[in-house]
Copies of this chain bind each other. A is one copy, B any other.
């Protein structure tokens, strides 16, 4: 299975702008949730039809519509029609193999990011696409399935009297991206800790198991990197936009996001290097073990093979073999044996093999 590139085979020969959902359907029906607020008022409701939310588009209040589930093309098309989105934006929302990016249009911004989860059972990273459309008075978010990632933000909208309620859609978008990025750091931490713990078992070396783990973490780190590096670029771009969609007061917060992303990508690079070093160390440990094994073999063989030969000589049945008949032959034979063995042991001691 190709995890590093999402199957676009369905899209081959398709006209650009034609809508197809690239991904696996992860929930039964599409879920629409609208939150509308300003300093004074707050509405939070499930929408049955996106058209019910269309009149919020023009109001001055902050309107956030979250769409869970992307498989129902009609819903997406309705959203596109109501909010006048470019067909390529809709295509990008539906193509869950999209590379993280930011695209500027006349009246709105399109942001594609990855949300990341870590499946502790399989120890693999799973990513999901998050599409965002940021207009002057509305924010649309598209997720592949139901999740409670944005719950803390919703709570803050309800509770918090100050910043979120007093700010525009740009700050809301920032708050959502911030939870996504916080999660990146959290998951890098999670994997990083496991990687740093490997170090200790490395020199003990329980054979192939350590290597398999190094290999597995390398793959996961590369997988993370694939989502996070372009996200860093995208967030960098966010602070350099010309339009008035991002308010000046929000800029320091976006700068903060950039710092977090810099930290995240640096940590990923550090862990990549660490894993490479670990594989090198692992290989050296293996070579060392090999040397140990061979030393044992060589010592045994080098001592006993000559001795066996000497014994073999006196095991021959030659009629005229004078030594056999002397009385002390056997004892002299033992003496010779011991001298040979002792000499060899000395030789190996000098070579520091013993």
- Chain A interface residues (CB < 8 Å from chain B): 1-5, 7-9, 11-17, 86, 88, 91-92, 97-99, 101, 103, 152, 156, 160, 163-164, 174-175, 178-179, 182-183, 185-186, 188-189, 192-193, 196-197, 199, 203, 207-208, 211-212, 215, 218-219, 222, 226, 230, 252-253, 255-256, 259, 262-263, 266-267, 270-271, 273-274, 277, 279-298, 300-302, 304-309, 311-330, 333, 351, 353
Contact (Cβ within 8 A) A318 B300: no
With a CB–CB cut-off of 8 A, which chain B residues contact A294?
A: 290, 293-294, 297-298
- 30 interchain pairs, CB-CB under 8 A: A1-B196, A1-B197, A5-B185, A5-B267, A7-B189, A8-B185, A8-B189, A9-B189, A16-B253, A99-B259, A99-B266, A203-B212, A215-B277, A222-B273, A226-B270, A286-B291, A291-B293, A292-B351, A297-B301, A298-B300, A300-B301, A300-B306, A305-B305, A307-B309, A307-B312, A314-B317, A315-B317, A317-B321, A318-B323, A318-B330
Residue in chain B with minimal CB distance to A4: B270
CB distance from A194 to the nearest CB of B (A): 9
With a CB–CB cut-off of 8 A, which chain B residues contact A285?
A: 208, 211
Contact (Cβ within 8 A) A88 B196: no
Copy number in the complex reads: 5
With a CB–CB cut-off of 8 A, which chain B residues contact A16?
A: 174-175, 178, 253, 256
CA distance A263 to B271 in the complex (A): 23
With a CB–CB cut-off of 8 A, which chain B residues contact A279?
A: 280, 284
Contact (Cβ within 8 A) B324 A329: no
Select one of B13, B297, B325 contacting A152, CB under 8 A. B13
CA distance A9 to B327 in the complex (A): 77
CA distance A208 to B285 in the complex (A): 7
With a CB–CB cut-off of 8 A, which chain B residues contact A2?
A: 189, 192-193, 196
A-B CB proximity, top 10 nearest = A311-B312, A314-B316, A297-B298, A2-B193, A13-B152, A300-B302, A315-B315, A318-B330, A304-B305, A308-B309
CB distance from A1 to the nearest CB of B (A): 7
With a CB–CB cut-off of 8 A, which chain B residues contact A196?
A: 1-4
CA distance A233 to B220 in the complex (A): 29
With a CB–CB cut-off of 8 A, which chain B residues contact A222?
A: 270, 273-274
Select one of B86, B188, B286 contacting A284, CB under 8 A. B286
With a CB–CB cut-off of 8 A, which chain B residues contact A328?
A: 320
